[in-house]
Amino acid sequence: MERITVDQTVKRTFFTVKKWIKGLQLRRAMTNVLLALLFLVDGTTLASMYPITIDRLAEEAGYSRTQLFVILNDLERAGHVERTRHRRQLEDGHWVNMPTTYRIITDEQERAALAAQVAAAVPRKRHPKKERLARPVPMHETFTGPTQSLPLPAEAPQRVEPIVDHSPPVRLVKANPAPPVNEMALPPEPKTGNEDVDNLADVVEHHARAAIRSAELATPKSAAVANKCLDIAKYTIAKYAMQIRGTFLISESDIIDCTYEWVVKCVEKNLVDSPRHMALILKKFFYGKGDGIAYVRNELLREAS
């Protein structure tokens, strides 16, 4: 059995760190998440020694995934939690996200350095919003008083002769209905020419295809339809994602998380056989994620005040 030497003594005990967390001037939500994280990290290094999924941390803290992403961002900006994201390359060359590792920072100098580093990070360029066209000025009319009109002279009624049509009757022929469009044969969508949109389209496509490959409940047909959806509409999907990122100020990780939810709740249920319909569903997922994060942010600000 391995023994602990003098050099491996713990600087702070669990209860000391717990008391220190409760003494911080933080919002209640940030304190709760920090305490939940303390139960999951190693007591010596205050870092996660094994993968901690976002679902496990959300269950321990008592918040939803959307709420937890917002709170963790605030803790990282304050310098109390350091997050390290990991990726793994598959045999086919694709990359997949691995669980993030966490570390609670108790040293004041290290906390200030992390907060400064996060604040100095260069934000991603956002797609410029289109300028709204000014509405035309309505025309103003000057009222000059009531007008008077003269009565029209009465005319004698005239007899109208009926018109008799001697042409043969026209036989209506039903037109053949247009054949249904085979969406699986549609060509891939071309690039937009906007660097930000095209890069985001590649990111969304990469993570969505990785999630589709690992979807255990998806049938081969549903997986093929989902992959075809990315072929014919990935740049349109990226435009929707870029729009909500500029409107709701959500991060790229939230957009990636949205694609995984789309696979679990749409592709694995095997309910849709239309690639274009799947693209519209993913659009709704993006807008739902933006609305949810905006709601959580407002609730946290209201709680702080």
Q: Return the domain boundaries, the chain.
A: 11-120, 186-304
- In the prediction, which pLDDT does 140 show? 46
CA dihedral 185, 240, 277, 235 (to 10 degrees): 10
Say if residue 188's pLDDT is above 60. Answer: yes
Six token digits for residue 94: 């694709």
Segment 72-76 shows an average pLDDT of 89
Residue with the two structure tokens 């014919």: 232
Contact (Cβ atoms closer than 8 angstroms) between residue 102 and residue 41 = yes
- In the prediction, which pLDDT does 123 show? 57
Distance CA 57, CA 101 (A): 11
- In the prediction, which pLDDT does 258 show? 84
Range list of β-strands (E), 39-133: 81-89, 95-104
- In the prediction, which pLDDT does 174 show? 66
CATH class of 11-120: mainly alpha
Say if residue 132's pLDDT is above 50. Answer: no
Say if residue 1's pLDDT is above 50. Answer: no
Number of Cβ within 10 Å of residue 12's Cβ equals 14
Chain segment 40-64, per-residue pLDDT in tens:
887 777 777 666 778 888 888 888 8
pTM of the model: 0.43
Higher pLDDT, 154 or 15: 15
Distance CA 104, CA 21 (A): 10
- In the prediction, which pLDDT does 211 show? 87
Nearest to 232 by CA among 277, 275, 177, 284: 275
Say if residue 304's pLDDT is above 80. Answer: no
Residues 6+ apart with CB under 8 A from 230: 205, 208, 209, 237
